């Protein structure tokens, strides 16, 4: 089955700098890759997603890139702010016929003042 690996597990960046989180997946048939942000005491919240027919998607300070050949995708956060501190999860869709997705183990992002 699908396996999603996520790195790093912890990331600290200075406020205003950029943060990059990287993920790889194993199933070449996967075609949907969402990213979730989880703040303390809350459930994960979808922040951006990308489908395999595009290589990049951007939403304000957040962007995601996808390399299907290498089977990896990345989250980029620019001009980081204190409220970006959270745990971020990448995920991949296992079966294009349904919505079940498999999550990476998460990256704890700390924005340093």
Partner 1 sequence: GAGVSQSPSNKVTEKGKDVELRCDPISGHTALYWYRQSLGQGLEFLIYFQGNSAPDKSGLPSDRFSAERTGGSVSTLTIQRTQQEDSAVYLCASSPSRNGYTFGSGTRLTVV
Length of the chain: 113
- The Cα–Cα gap between 93 and 30 comes to 5
89 touches partner 1 by CB under 8 A: yes
The mark string for 2-41 relative to partner 1 (x by CB under 8 A, - otherwise) is: ----x-------------------------x-x-x----x
Give me the least distance between CB of 103 and partner 1, in Å please: 4
- The Cα–Cα gap between 34 and 75 comes to 10
- The Cα–Cα gap between 74 and 51 comes to 13
Which pair of structure tokens corresponds to residue 18?
């950029």
Torsion of CA 79, 45, 88, 100, to 10 degrees: -140
Nearer to partner 1, 19 or 23 (CB): 23
45 touches partner 1 by CB under 8 A: yes
Nearer to partner 1, 51 or 79 (CB): 51
Which residues are at the interface with partner 1 (CB under 8 A)?
6, 32, 34, 36, 41-46, 49, 89, 98-106
């Amino acid at each position: 089955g699908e396996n999603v690996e996520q790195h790093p597990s912890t990331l600290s960046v200075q406020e205003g700098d950029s943060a990059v989180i990287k993920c790889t997946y194993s199933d070449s048939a996967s075609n949907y890759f969402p990213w979730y942000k989880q703040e303390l005491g809350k459930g994960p919240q979808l922040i951006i997603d990308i489908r395999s027919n595009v290589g990049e998607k951007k939403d304000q300070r957040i962007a995601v890139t996808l390399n299907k050949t290498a089977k990896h995708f990345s989250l980029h956060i620019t001009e980081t702010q204190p409220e970006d501190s959270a745990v971020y999860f990448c995920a991949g869709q296992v079966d294009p016929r349904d919505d079940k997705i498999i999550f990476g183990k998460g990256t704890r992002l700390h924005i340093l003042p």
